[in-house]
Chain A
Amino acid sequence: MEFFEQFLNWRTIAEILILWLVIYQIFLFLKGTKAVYLLRGVIILIVSFFVFQGLRLFVLSKLLTYLFAFFLIFVVVVLQPEIREGLIRLGRRHIFFFEPKREEIEKALKEIVSAVSIFSRKRTGALIAIKREIGLKNYMESGAILNADLTSELLQNIFYPGAPLHDGGVIVEGTRVIAASCLFPLSDNPNLGKILGMRHRAGVGFSEHSDAVVAIVSEENGLISLAIGGQLTQDLTPNELFTILKGQLSKST
């Protein structure tokens, strides 16, 4: 009874709720990344620590605390990309930026979807990243800067097999095609199927490293996929693609 009187107050509940929320968000963030395997290691270390404490094996528990300190440094080094991505998401804010009008965005999306449906029909491989808030300058510089009006014809021209810019990805910002033939980082997500090719891995990798939405058309079967935040949605129809893109891009503005 004394325990409940001592601990069951609003402060305790608030502290546990905040802790729960933070831990849940961390777990959610780590889900589906290579960090899951490291997390298992951390949990084993923590459980071992409590077991050693309970059995009063003080030397072993002390050793574990030293090991834990080294492990933390190791985790920071190994998970550097994930930590960077997390901090970027945390620090993402709407401040002052000029956005094209909603109708213009919709028109641009229609151009993209029109091109993608043609690619799907003709089984032409394509990789189109739509920038949201996070800057993509490094990736743009890896390709050819275009800064051209976004039209379905331009995208068809870029991805035409054998065209000089058909390799790599296109980066779209608002109603402009900013760059083509850009190099995207490959995802090392172990949950991605082995049958997925480099184009899909690059699309998912790019969506992991930025907040961009990436549309991918398979060269092998013409299937349309969409990568958002490291998650790949496959086998979309052009209409579904348009609906998701519209929803995602209106969410970010």
Chain B
Amino acid sequence: MKFPKRLRIKKLREIIANNFWLKIISLIVAVVIWLYVNGEIIRGIRV
């Protein structure tokens, strides 16, 4: 079933706006963890 464009935009806006700050914080945490673990792996390879 295809929704009208207006409803699709509304739905998309809801998906983004819902728990917006939680999404941003979890993205930051994910990037920080990835960088840290990746750094550790690279350091391990060098040693």
Contact = CB atoms under 8 A, between A and B. Distances in A.
A71 to B, nearest CB: 17
B33 interface: yes
Contact of A24 (B26, B31, B33, B34): B26
B26 to A, nearest CB: 4
Interface in A3-17: 7, 12, 15-16
B17 interface: no
Contact of B23 (A7, A16, A24): A24
Interface residues of A, number: 11
Interface residues on B, range: 10 to 19
A94 interface: no
A145 to B, nearest CB: 41
B29 A23 contact: yes
B23 A19 contact: no
A16 B26 contact: no
B20 to A, nearest CB: 11
B27 interface: yes
B31 to A, nearest CB: 6
B30 A23 contact: yes
A23 B32 CA distance: 12
Contact of B26 (A7, A15, A20): A20
A58 interface: no
19 contacts: A7-B38, A12-B34, A16-B31, A16-B34, A19-B30, A19-B33, A19-B34, A20-B27, A20-B30, A23-B26, A23-B29, A24-B22, A24-B23, A27-B22, A27-B25, A27-B26, A28-B19, A28-B22, A31-B22
Interface of A: 7, 12, 15-16, 19-20, 23-24, 27-28, 31
Interface of B: 19, 22-23, 25-27, 29-31, 33-34, 38
